[in-house]
Structures are given as structure tokens and as C-alpha cells.
Structure 1
Amino acid sequence: MRSKSLLRPRDVIGHVTHITPEFLAERQLHGLLLDLDNTLVPYGSYASGEAAEVLAWARDLKLSGIGLYLLSNATGRRAAFWLDHLGFQGVGLAGKPNPRAYRHALRGLGLPPTQVGMVGDQLFTDVLGGNLCGMHTILVQPLAVNALPHTRVARKLERAVLKRYGHDWRP
């Protein structure tokens, strides 16, 4: 993979629930690594009731035989809270985009990188790390506006990169 394409997602979608068993079969994917904040739930949210749609989506994918693994930079406590509700394995404080975190997660799924999609809302963590490991990367529209200063800066840079690839999002 050429270095200038490391920030290019293979797919860009509006919401994680747009990923269906059919979507995955078309791409020959059997598992997903999933970011937490602004991908599955709004940043900072602990309201599992508001995540009912995503919880049902994850349950349905698991029932379809799709392997799921949470790969999040959120705190271990926050990741543990959501893993309990989601019902699958994963880690917090993963250290994305470090490829070591992705390789650990792939071992947890027992699948090669070519059969796994990395799903997240950030180019410089989720997409970059997934591409470095040879995974199919799927960028989703962020669920919420994050007020952290470093995230605001990253979002501006993401807009420029996405525009270069023909996407005009306002994350």
C-alpha cells in the first residue's frame, strides 16, 4: 500500500448500522474491529438506553456469525462498561493507531487482517491503524461533536483529507 493512501478508507458510510451481513459478505469480511466513542456511542455517553439500536445491531451481527471486537482508546473503565452491554470482547486504552493493538485484536478474533474490517470515526487512529495492518477500513460519520481541543484540530485535518478523496463531510 502506498504511503499516501494510508489515510484513505475503503468505505465511507453514515452510520455503523449500515454495515449488514450482506455488506460484509460482498467484501469477504468475517469480523469487525469497532471503535467506541463517536462510532458506536456518542463520546462520553454511559446511557445504554440511547444505544439500543447499536446493541441490537451488534447482537444481530454476532448471530450471523460475524466476529466483533472493541478496539478503543477510551479508558479501561469506560470500555469495560460498554463491553458488558455489547456482549463481546475488546480493550480500552488500545493505543491506536499502533499496529500492535490491531494485531492483538485480530488474534482475539482468530482471523487474518484481510477478513476483518476496522470501523471507526477517525482517520488518524482508526483508518490509519487499520490500513497499516492490511485491513478493510470503514469510516463512519461521527455521532457527536467532540469538544476536546486535539479532536477539533484533527477534524479540520480530516475534512481536508476526505475532500481530497471526494468526500465533503463536516465531522
Structure 2
Amino acid sequence: MLLKPDLLVEAAYEVDSTLLKSHGKSALMVDLDDTVIPSNSSLMAPSFKSWFKTLKKDDIAILILSNGQPERVHYWANNLGVDGVALVGKPFSFAFKRGLKRLGHQPSETAMLGDQLFTDVLGANITGIFSILVRPLTAGRLPHTRLLRKFENIIVRRP
């Protein structure tokens, strides 16, 4: 089912290199807003910075794949020492194919970690990428995001 994540986690840092490698993954595409940083914040928790550093040290290729604004995405990509693609157009498959090309990996080698069922999970599943849904850091700042969250919680049966 296209709206069913392959894996459901409470926090992004639960997705470590051991978990990824156990599923045959050597690359990780990560959404930014409400996945690793609150959408209404300019501060990232030190635990997330450490998580990125550990994944890189463990030879996991990482790319920030976001529908967010270029200034924000590129700021965090540079700050974390990873590549980033902004205004990408998730959930359309061309967005994920663009990410795969930047990473230099195949869908079968890659996982997508994000907080939204209708963008991150749907697009990853359409493209054949292992999808990981994380509990969002906030309810979302945009009205349509807050509405979609209600549907997401029904679909994944998350309180």
C-alpha cells in the first residue's frame, strides 16, 4: 500500500546505521522540517547534529530532501556537512529521483525518513525507496499540514 510506511519510529535518531544496514540501505534521504528540526524554529537539538555526524562516520550517505525554502535547506545542509535539495516537489517521483541522482544510489539502497505520510512516505513508496515515518516534532504551522496530520493519525493508527 502506497500510504503504509515500511517502518514507523518515534524519533529520527532511532534510525541508526545498524538499522539501515540491516535493511540493506547505505543511503538516507531526510526531510528537514518537523523531522529533525521544528518547522517554526531556527535551532536544532544537539542530539540531531550528533546523529547526522554518527551516520556519516558509519558510511551512510545522507541528503536533505525538502519541500522547504532553499535558504533554510541549504543553511542546514551546510551546517551538517551534507548535501541538500530544496523546493523538491515531494511526493512526485521526480523529486525522489533527483535525490537519488545527487546521492549516487539506487532506490533499493536508499531509505527516506520523513514526518509526512502524504509527501515523504507516499513519494518514497512510489519510487521504490524504503520509507520511514517519524512522529512529527510539531503539529505543523500551515493549516493544510495540520489537517493532513489528522488523516495521517487515522491511517497509521497513531495517537
Same fold (TM over 0.5): yes
Matched, 1:40 2:36: yes
The 3-state SS of whatever aligns with 1:157 is helix
State yes or no: 1:83 paired with 2:77: yes
Q: What pairs with 1:1-171 in structure 2 (closer than 5 Å)?
A: 5-47=1-43, 50-163=44-157, 169-170=158-159
In structure 2, how many angstroms separate the alpha carbons of the residues matched to 1:19 and 1:148? 27
Count of matched residue pairs: 159
Gapped runs of 5+ residues in structure 1? 164-168
Larger Rg: 1
Worse-superposed segment, 143-152 or 125-134: 143-152
* RMSD value, Cα: 1.0
Distance, in Å, in 1 between the alignment partners of 2:45 and 2:67 is 19
Identity %: 38
- For 2:33, the aligned partner's letter is D
**More deviation, 140-149/98-107:** 140-149
- What's the TM-score once normalised by structure 1's chain length? 0.90
SS of residue matched to 1:70? strand
> Post-superposition shift, 1:30?
0.3
Matches of 1:118 and 1:20, distance apart in 2: 13
Q: Please list every run of 5 or more consecutive structure 2 residues that lacks an aligned counterpart in the other structure.
A: none
Offset of residue 104 of structure 1: 0.8
TM-superposed deviation, 1:25: 1.4
TM-aligned CA deviation for residue 141 of structure 1: 0.5
| 1:146 to partner: Cα distance | 1.4
Post-superposition shift, 1:44? Answer: 2.6
1:92 deviates by 1.1
Give the TM-score, by structure 2 length: 0.96
1:147 is displaced (CA, Å) by 3.3
CA distance in 1, matches of 2:150, 2:143: 11
CA contact (8 A) 2:39 2:141 kept: no
User: What is the letter of the counterpart of residue 38 of structure 1?
Assistant: D
Amino acid at match of 2:104: G
Q: Identify which range, 17-26 or 30-39, moves more after superposition.
A: 17-26
The one-letter amino acid of 1:126's match is D
1:58-116 CA distance string (max 9 Å, x none): 01111110000000011011111111211100111111011111001101111110110
Contact 2:107 2:127 in 1 (8 A): yes
